[in-house]
């Protein structure tokens, strides 16, 4: 049984907005709820490091969802920079390979402490994007076999590199935990409360079921951001998981 605070601390609200002002409107409505804030490519490219710093000043935990994928030296530099911003979690593509993932950890080590005083963030791998169908993965990307097998292989590679967990569908949480152990984190988007609009997600799960399946954190966007009453929507999600 979770307290309301513990439950809120396991929810990441996806701030998928084009400007800082648009994100601010939501943040004001959610004031006082200790959820994480997830900043993705759209908002980070528009509002940048200042926006992340402002979230940190307000006491939020921040997941910077920028999915780094480049040569190891460049990823190391990127990891150092985002660590200095004080983010609590960021991610890289497992497809960049073990050496690249290790470079992300080295960059995080380098950016932590020192003048910035930043703590070391959790570094998470993106496995196979949930938008990739098996046909696209096999025929366009050139990876054979099932998506599930590719996800598990990437998760194990990320663990070997020393990463802390993966972003994955909640439908894959059980097999990821089976392959990598319980302490390897599963961060799961594709969450929809009972009766919510599915939007462009295909395989969804309710918040309570996602935690029962082993998710450590759930990522929720539109069920909160597009709700007529976002605060009420988030509070009812929190209520639905405190008994899990
Ligand atoms: O609005 P919705 O709840 O579908 O938002 C889900 C969030 O999680 C979005 O920010 C999306 O980019 C992210 N995400 C996802 N599937 C992945 C990885 C990230 O939906 N595999």
pLDDT score for 88: 98
The residue ranking higher by pLDDT, 115 or 119, is: 119
Q: Is the pLDDT of residue 1 over 90?
A: no
Confidence of residue 218 (pLDDT cuts 50, 70, 90): very high
pLDDT score for 114: 77
* 172 close to ligand 1 (CB < 6 Angstrom): no
* 167 close to ligand 1 (CB < 6 Angstrom): yes
* 128 close to ligand 1 (CB < 6 Angstrom): no
- Whole-prediction pTM value? 0.96
Cβ 176 vs Cβ 189: under 8 Å: no
- What's the mean pLDDT in 58-86? 97
Q: Is the pLDDT of residue 151 over 80?
A: yes
* 78 close to ligand 1 (CB < 6 Angstrom): no
* 166 close to ligand 1 (CB < 6 Angstrom): no
C-alpha 19/C-alpha 42 separation (Å) is: 8
Find the 210 Cα to ligand 1 centroid distance in Å. 14
Q: Which atom of ligand 1 is nearest to the CA of 40?
A: 10
pLDDT (tens digit per residue) in 9-21: 999 999 999 999 9
Cβ 59 vs Cβ 28: under 8 Å: no
pLDDT score for 201: 79
pLDDT score for 81: 97
Of 5, 38, 56, 67, the catalytic one is 67
C-alpha 237/C-alpha 242 separation (Å) is: 9
Cβ 91 vs Cβ 65: under 8 Å: yes
Q: Is the pLDDT of residue 73 over 90?
A: yes
Confidence of residue 244 (pLDDT cuts 50, 70, 90): confident
Find the 190 Cα to ligand 1 centroid distance in Å. 6
Cβ 187 vs Cβ 167: under 8 Å: yes
Find the 148 Cα to ligand 1 centroid distance in Å. 18
User: 76 catalytic, yes or no?
Assistant: no
pLDDT (tens digit per residue) in 163-206: 999 999 999 999 999 999 999 999 999 999 998 888 887 789 99
C-alpha 217/C-alpha 232 separation (Å) is: 20
* Radius of gyration, alpha carbons of the chain: 17
Find the 84 Cα to ligand 1 centroid distance in Å. 25
pLDDT (tens digit per residue) in 76-114: 999 999 999 999 999 999 999 999 999 999 999 999 987
């Amino acid at each position: 049984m979770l307290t309301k605070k513990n439950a809120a601390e396991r929810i990441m609200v996806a701030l998928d907005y084009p400007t800082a002002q648009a994100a601010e409107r939501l943040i004001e409505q959610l004031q006082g709820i200790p959820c994480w804030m997830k900043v993705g490519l759209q908002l980070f490219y528009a509002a940048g490091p200042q926006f992340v710093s402002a979230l940190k000043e307000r006491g939020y935990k921040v997941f910077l969802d920028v999915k780094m994928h480049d040569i190891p030296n460049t990823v190391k530099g990127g990891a150092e920079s985002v660590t200095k911003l004080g983010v609590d979690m960021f991610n890289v593509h497992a497809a960049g390979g073990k050496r690249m993932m290790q470079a992300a950890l080295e960059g995080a080590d380098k950016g932590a402490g020192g003048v910035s005083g930043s703590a070391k963030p959790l570094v998470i791998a993106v496995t196979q994007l949930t938008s990739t169908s098996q046909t696209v993965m096999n025929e366009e990307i050139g990876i054979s076999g099932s998506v599930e097998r590719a996800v598990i292989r990437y998760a194990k590679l990320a663990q070997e590199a020393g990463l802390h967990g993966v972003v994955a569908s909640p439908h894959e949480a059980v097999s990821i935990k089976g392959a990598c152990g319980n302490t390897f984190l599963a961060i799961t988007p594709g969450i929809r409360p009972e009766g919510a609009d599915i939007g462009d997600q295909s395989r969804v799960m309710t918040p309570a079921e996602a935690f029962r399946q082993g998710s450590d954190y759930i990522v929720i966007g539109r069920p909160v951001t597009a709700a007529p009453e976002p605060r009420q929507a988030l509070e009812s999600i929190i209520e639905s998981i405190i008994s899990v």
